Structures are given as structure tokens and as C-alpha cells.
Structure 1
Amino acid sequence: MSGSEEANANKRRTKIARLIDEYGLNGFGEELEQMWTAEKPDRKSLRELAEMVNKRILRSALDDSGIALVSADVDSIYTRLADKEGSSADKTRVRRQLEREGVDVDTLESDFVTYQAVRSFLQKERNAEYMPSENPIERDKTSIQQLRSRTAAVTKTKLEGLDKAEEIDIGSHQVTVNINVYCEECGRLFDVTEILDQRGCDCTESES
């Protein structure tokens, strides 16, 4: 395979597949698949798996730099790098400490993944699919639709009551309730059922 062919092949691979090779995380893909497809309470969510991937990458980078740490230290460093807790000063201090130890922090942070990247890896590279006994999307979509119907019914009743009491003057009318989701990443507006049916905004696919 030529250099250009190899580069194109790497581009077609998902981010996590590339990271597993780059960081020597042999067997980690199978581990992620098993944790995602397990039955509750052993099953891990995509967000939990993303955090596990990031911590594993962090530990590998620290090991390569000769930094001996226990799991608690890795958790603490990741928490600060990911801005989950603490101040920006804490993050800056941790970054400088790691850089002094020879860690390329910019590359490390760019290698951190999101839950969308985990899902893309599991579905495209592992051909994995989680099939819960109850579809949570359909369940919650039904609940939202019921809430929307109840809101419309209550609003109509209130309007008719005010009209009857001559507090307002309204003729024949209909009440509709729209629930929209605005994606702050790309600026698109979706009906809530649309965003559920397509399992999110497709602008997140670029992360994979």
C-alpha cells in the first residue's frame, strides 16, 4: 500500500480505531463493545465509555512519559483537563506540570473523544448494536407527545373558560403546541420528534 493509500485508509477509520492503534490499546475495542452491550446494571452508557477512553489515553500518555501514577491521580488530572471541576487556574497548572514532564498536552486533548465518537466506533468498526428490551427513544417520544397533547388541552380549556367569563373575546380556534430543539453547534431548529427520530443533529457526525 502506498503512502497516499495508507493515509486515505486511515481517514476512513473512526477516531477511536486510530487511537487504539496509536496508543497501543490492544483489546480495548472488544472491552468497549462488551460494556456497551451488557445488560443492566453492568451496562455502560456512551458518555461513560467516552470518559473511559479518555482516561485510558491519558494513562497511556503518562506512562510513555515515565510518569508513575495511581488511578486516583489519573482521575484527578483528567477531571481538571476536561474542565469538569475546579478553576481555569487548576487546568493551567496541570497542563504546565504535564508539559514539564514531556507530555504533548495539545495533542492529548485533541485526542479526547465524545460519546458520538464512541457510538461511531462501536457501530462502524465493531458492528455492535445495543438492543434494550424497551426502546428508550420511543418511550420518551411517547411521553413528550402526551405532554404536548395535555398542554394543548389544558390551554384550550383555560381559554374557553376566560371567553365564557367574558374576560377575553375569542371565536372558533385551535390550540397547537410546538416543542423545538435548537442546536447551538450548527444553528438548526428541529421539532423534538424529528431530533429523536434521527437520534440527534447530524452536525455531530464530524466528530467521528
Structure 2
Amino acid sequence: MSETPDPTRSKVGRLIDTYGMENIGQELEDRWIGEGYESQSLRSLADWFNRRLLAAKLEQAGENPIDGEVANLYRLLTEDDVTAGMRIDAEATLERNGIDPETARTEFVSHQAVYTYLTEFREASKERSSGNRVEKVRTTVQRLQSRLVAVIENNLEQLRATDRLTLGDFNVLVDVQILCEDCGASYSITALLDRGGCDCQE
């Protein structure tokens, strides 16, 4: 039985351990596979991680930075379209907090480093999350249906209360049907998810 590789052997895992960024590894994985978050690209995740890393550095230095300040500082340190003067000011901000700007840049990770950490050291896979994605869709649809029912009920009750509508006791039923134009099969969204597809698969 193979053991899970030591995450600290990767650059991302080492930085998480060095700067005490507990739970960042799990959130990084969740953001990649779209578990509880919109699925993000590796480049987007690298920027997200680097901003969290920069925030951790500042916190270790005794600062209490807010997200907007960290994001702007990261942009000034890394973007090509930043003027030399603005970059120098950003570097001076780090130096005032005892942070070497060059070391900070060296520690920023690439999208490839994020991919290596996720796949080789957390053994994450977008394919493995396919079942979770189905459940996520189911939950999203159910939430939307419940919200639609509540909105309709509220509006009908207001119309009835102001004598604009005659209506006895009522229930609102919302049924989302999916019709496949290729095979002609029609299923409720729940039934379609449960069976894993339409009649085309047969």
C-alpha cells in the first residue's frame, strides 16, 4: 500500500508549512475541482495562493492586512504594466515590514507548481470529483426550485391579500423537465441525474 507523498517536498506544500497556512491546501484543491467553489484555472489558483502567501508574510510581520491591500500589493510586485515608481513603493512597503522583496518574488508559485502539488502530493483529480459535481448540480437545482416556489407563494399571497386574486388554499409545484432533442426522451432533472443520462446512452 503506497503512502501519500509528503506535501512539504513540493514548493507549495513547503510554503504552507513554513508560513502556517493551515487549510490552504484543502481549499486550493476544492477551488480546483469546484467543490464548494466555482472551479478555477491553475493560473488563477497560483495568483490566489500567492496573495494568501503575501498576506501570511505580512501577518507574521505583525500587520493585519485586508484583502484589497494584499491584492493591490501583489499586483504592483508582479504585473508588467506597473510603473517603476509604483513598484518601488510596493517594495518599500515590504521592506518596512522586514520582508525582502526579491525573496517574496522568488517564493511566489507558478501554475505548474500548483498543478504538481495538487496532483502528485494531494493526489487530486478533476475526474475523481465528477460524482461530487453531479451532487453539486442536484443541490443547486433544488435550491433554485425552493427559491422559485417561495417567490411565487409570496407574490400570490400578496395578490390574494389585496383582493387582486381569488385563490383558496394552494400549493406551488415546480417541475423542471429536460427534453433530449436527439432521442426524444424527457426526464425531470432529478431523474436524469439519477439515471446518469438520457436514452442516447443506450
TM range (shorter): 0.5 to 0.7
**Residue aligning to 1:37:** 33
TM-score of the superposed pair, with normalisation by structure 1: 0.55
Counterparts of 1:119-134 in structure 2, within 5 Å, are 119-131=115-127
**Residue aligning to 1:99:** 95
Indicate which of 89, 92, 113 corresponds to 1:117: 113
Counterpart AA for 1:52: W
Counterparts of 1:17-56 in structure 2, within 5 Å, are 17-38=13-34, 42-56=38-52
Contact 1:79 1:85 in 2 (8 A): no
State the alpha-carbon separation in 2 of the partners of residues 68 and 40 from structure 1: 27
TM-score of the superposed pair, with normalisation by structure 2: 0.56
Question: Shift of residue 94 of structure 1?
Answer: 1.0
Question: Shift of residue 35 of structure 1?
Answer: 1.0
Contact 2:29 2:124 in 1 (8 A): yes
State the alpha-carbon separation in 2 of the partners of residues 87 and 98 from structure 1: 17
Counterparts of 1:119-198 in structure 2, within 5 Å, are 119-131=115-127
- Equivalent residues, number: 125
- Structure 2: gaps of 5 or more residues: 131-202
Contact 2:29 2:118 in 1 (8 A): yes
RMSD: 2.6
Question: Shift of residue 80 of structure 1?
Answer: 0.4
Q: 1:78 to 1:45 in 2, by over 3 A?
A: same
For residues 120-177 of structure 1, give each alpha carbon's deviation from its aligned partner in whole angstroms, at most 9, with x where no partner exists.
00011110112398xxxxxxxxxxxxxxxxxxxxxxxxxxxxxxxxxxxxxxxxxxxx
Question: Shift of residue 83 of structure 1?
Answer: 2.0
**Residue aligning to 1:166:** none
**Residue aligning to 1:138:** none
Query: After the TM superposition, which segments of 4 or more aligned residues of structure 1 sit over 3 Å from their partners?
Result: 9-12
- Structure 1: gaps of 5 or more residues: 1-8, 134-208
Contact 1:83 1:91 in 2 (8 A): no
Contact 1:50 1:113 in 2 (8 A): yes
Q: 1:93 to 1:117 in 2, by over 3 A?
A: same
